[in-house]
Amino acid sequence: MSTDPWETLRAATRARVGLGRAGDGLSTPENLRLAAAHAQARDAVHAPLDADAVVAALGERAGPVVHSRVADRTEYLQRPDLGRRLADDHGLERGDHDLAVVIADGLSARAVHDHAVAVVDALLPRLEGWSVAPVVVAQQARVALGDDIAAALGARMVLVLIGERPGMSSPDSLGAYLTFDPRPGRLDSERNCVSNIRPPDGLTYDGAAEVLAALMTESFRLGLSGVGLKDTGTALPPVAG
């Protein structure tokens, strides 16, 4: 049996606790682990989205690939405003849909590659009777780009699945942002977010789909999203064993 009092806590979290020290600093192994985590986070921010692979994984559910008004990744990081607006040559066709689903690279294409299609797979069967537009894949995208996309598609609600800002232990975290009556100019306070979708260390696909389906159903009933819409569920996601 270990005599390290921090071992139990370290086994229960990915946070860096009880690291020990060498003199006034971290030990060499911990410094190397920290540097590796930092490199993973930087790689996640700069890695490009493989839109063709996402479209292939979506199969017949896939719609077009669109772009924001950003020219390249450098501009994406420097000009968030351009990442929120849809390029003029988007090719989207207006229809009559309850829901538009947008898969967006955001700040972690890795999160999209690993988790986005699985969330779609778990969610859509829970939306029986909904009219869902073909899933749009968006490059160099911020969350608010979904408002432009949904408005172009004629959708009453948009769900944006997007790579979240990488942390030092979570370079692959996917976020889901829900907005009722999406249109350009919507505020962040008018959205709901389900965050940290990344099994086995975060929320499971089924867990995220259950919360999202409940929020979306209530959003339609109330005719709103954001701070006025609350997740009233009491079930917590299972603890990874």
Structure-token pair, residue 8: 């139990």
What's at 47, amino acid-wise? A
Does 119 appear as a known binding residue?
A: no
| Angle at CA of residue 105, ends 101 and 110, nearest 5° | 115
Does 65 appear as a known binding residue?
A: no
What's at 182, amino acid-wise? P
Which are the contacts of 78, defined by CB distance < 8 A and separation ≥ 6? none
Distance separating the N- and C-terminal Cα atoms of the chain: 20
Does 143 appear as a known binding residue?
A: yes
Residue (of 219, 92, 96, 225) closest to 155 by Cα position: 96
Residue (of 155, 157, 149, 231) closest to 193 by Cα position: 231
Which are the contacts of 91, defined by CB distance < 8 A and separation ≥ 6? 64, 66
Based on C-alpha coordinates, what's the Rg of the chain?
Answer: 19
Known binding residues: 143, 164, 193
Known binding residues for adenosylcob(III)alamin: 143, 164, 193
